[in-house]
Amino acid sequence: MILTSTARREFGLINPKFQANPILGLSDRMTVKIDFDETDFKSAKYWAELTLEKFTLGGYVMLKSSKKCRHAVFDRYVSWEENLSIIAWVAVLSKSVPLLRYLAMQCIKMSSALRVSPKGDKPSPRIVYRFGCQDHAVKDFLEFRQLIKQIYRSL
């Protein structure tokens, strides 16, 4: 279990040498990662499944990052251009402003990133739903996420 920053501060687990903990995330260009902000589980699942069918992405894993935020990570590796096209398709069709903002940020940074560590009072994202094949990008994503969690825990 990873404690939130507030809890870590309360228990005296944050090293006083460090002023504030920057957020740790996972970033790459070949995995399709969608950040559904201000979306409930039902809608996030609907859009994830629609994307899965349309682009034949194999499978996906859904993570809950906070009360109304979900992350979806898809299993098929794609090129950066296709990755952007998929996120843009979902953003435009779902008319989701936070997702359009997320897409814009990914374009600026030239890679798509998702949070792994806790952020303020929000805990680290946890898996809530899996569907379809999980052997390729999802597997690598979860392995790398575990590595980042280990780094965070070791402090």
Instruction: Kindly state whether residue 26 participates in binding another protein, applying the rule CB under 8 A.
Output: yes
Shortest spacing between CB 13 and another protein, in angstroms: 14
Pick from 24, 81, 91, 16: which is nearest to 51 by CA? 91
Q: Which is nearer to another protein, 13 or 155 (CB)?
A: 155
Cβ distance to another protein smaller for residue 45 or 84: 84
Confirm or reject binding of residue 134 to another protein (CB under 8 A): no
- Token pair listed for 22: 């920057």
Structure tokens at 57: 């992405």
Decide whether 64 or 149 has the Cβ nearer to another protein.
149
* In the complex, minimum distance from the CB of residue 2 to another protein, in angstroms, rounded to a whole number: 15
Token pair 């952020």: residue:
119
Q: Which residues contact 124 (CB under 8 A, 6 or more apart)?
A: 2, 115, 116, 117, 118, 149, 152
* Alpha-carbon distance values, 16 to 19, 21, 44, 152, 155 (Å): 7, 11, 39, 16, 12
Which residue among 6, 9, 25, 92 contacts another protein (CB under 8 A)?
Answer: 25
140 binds another protein (CB under 8 A): yes
Question: Does the protein bind another protein through residue 55 (CB under 8 A)?
Answer: no
Residues found near another protein in the complex (CB under 8 A): 15, 17-30, 109, 111, 113, 120, 140, 144, 147-148, 150-151, 154-155
